[in-house]
Amino acid sequence: MAGKLKKKDYEARLEALQHELNTLHAWMAATGERVLVILEGRDTAGKTGVINAITHRLNPRRTRVVALSKPSEREQGQWYFQRYVEHLPGAGELVLFDRSWYNRAGVEAVMGFCSEAEHKRFLAECPVFERLLVADGIRLFKYWLTLDQAEQERRLAERLDDPLKRWKLSPVDLAARERYADYGKARDRMLRHTDTGEAPWYMVDANDQRRMRIDLVSHLLSKLPYRPMPVEVPPFPPLSGPPGRDRPKVKVRWVPRAGD
């Protein structure tokens, strides 16, 4: 197994990939392509981190991250996929789901938040739903981030100790620690039913977060037929006079400088 990716190497490789992501974005804007990326996996596997790596230098007007909270009472009475449909990408958009409709195949099934009948219906309907998305022209990518139990324990403990990361922990996350094997069985059942030719699953080793981000972004780019598009750089005329300070000519309230 390759060693951990060093920070300097990671940053250099990520910057090169972010340039490619901008090229991809320009191609999507010019062609109207729609790209949907689903990120699923173990708690603490790094879904948010890889999303940040992808979106960090992209135009936010054409990039959306979807991380839905638990369904409302009204949403619980809808067709299961209904609340996700409104978040699908439009022309020229890249949408990333930080967890998705696959909640029903994972946490809902394992923790008893849905019935066995609802779980079975999801596994039957999901490939049909995704086939419709792909047939309509959406480029769908599904990534599952795998994480060994020892590494998951280390990251959970780190979140518990760090006040800036503690918000990431939920009672469900902590309860899931005792259901590691159950989550693995639920994932494998999900794969048997939803890994299709139209919408395949891709597994990503997430034990090294830096390497996982590089691997995932590289793979995503390799699967899209993007190409550089002509770029028009607007002229940058000189200033009409000497540079000035931006100070209002009316009485205003200033925010004090920290430490003064």
pLDDT digits (tens, 9 = 90+) for 42-87: 889 999 999 999 999 999 999 999 999 989 999 999 999 999 999 9
pLDDT of residue 232: 84
The range of the structural domain enclosing residue 38 comes to 7-222
Please tell me the chain's helix, strand, coil percentages from 3-state DSSP, rounded to the nearest 5.
50, 10, 40
pLDDT of residue 19: 98
Grade residue 25 by pLDDT with cuts at 50, 70 and 90: very high
Instruction: Provide the mean pLDDT of the chain.
Output: 94
| Domain count across the chain | 1
Domain assignment present for 118: yes
Range list of H helices, 61-115 = 73-76, 82-85, 107-111
Domain assignment present for 254: no
Domain assignment present for 83: yes
Grade residue 174 by pLDDT with cuts at 50, 70 and 90: confident
pLDDT of residue 241: 85
Q: Cα(49)–Cα(86) distance, rounded to whole angstroms?
A: 24
Please list, residue by residue across 107-138, b when 16 or more beta carbons sit within 10 angstroms of its beta carbon and e when fewer do.
bbbbeeebeeeebeebbeebbebbeebeeeeb
| Residue 39, SS3 per DSSP | strand
pLDDT digits (tens, 9 = 90+) for 92-134: 999 999 999 999 999 999 999 999 999 999 999 999 999 999 9
The edge-to-edge listing of strands for the beta sheet with 34-41 is 63-66, 94-98, 34-41, 138-146, 201-205
Domain assignment present for 200: yes
pLDDT of residue 242: 86
Return the closest-CA partner of residue 21 out of 71, 88, 96: 96
Domain assignment present for 255: no
Range list of H helices, 115-254 = 116-135, 149-161, 171-176, 180-194, 209-222
pLDDT of residue 107: 93
Give the Cα-Cα-Cα angle 7, 10, 11 (nearest 5 degrees): 85
pLDDT of residue 22: 97
Q: Looking at residue 137, what DSSP letter applies?
A: T
**What's the rounded mean pLDDT across residues 239-247?**
87
pLDDT of residue 260: 57
Domain assignment present for 79: yes
Q: Cα(46)–Cα(52) distance, rounded to whole angstroms?
A: 10
pLDDT above 90 (res 259): no
pLDDT of residue 167: 83
Give the whole-number percent of the chain exceeding pLDDT 70: 99
Q: What is the pTM of this model?
A: 0.92
Return the number of other C-beta atoms located less than 10 Å from residue 67's C-beta: 13
**What's the rounded mean pLDDT across residues 164-169?**
83
Higher pLDDT, residue 159 or 199: 199
Grade residue 2 by pLDDT with cuts at 50, 70 and 90: low
pLDDT of residue 231: 83
Domain assignment present for 186: yes
The CATH number given to whatever domain includes residue 66 is 3.40.50.300
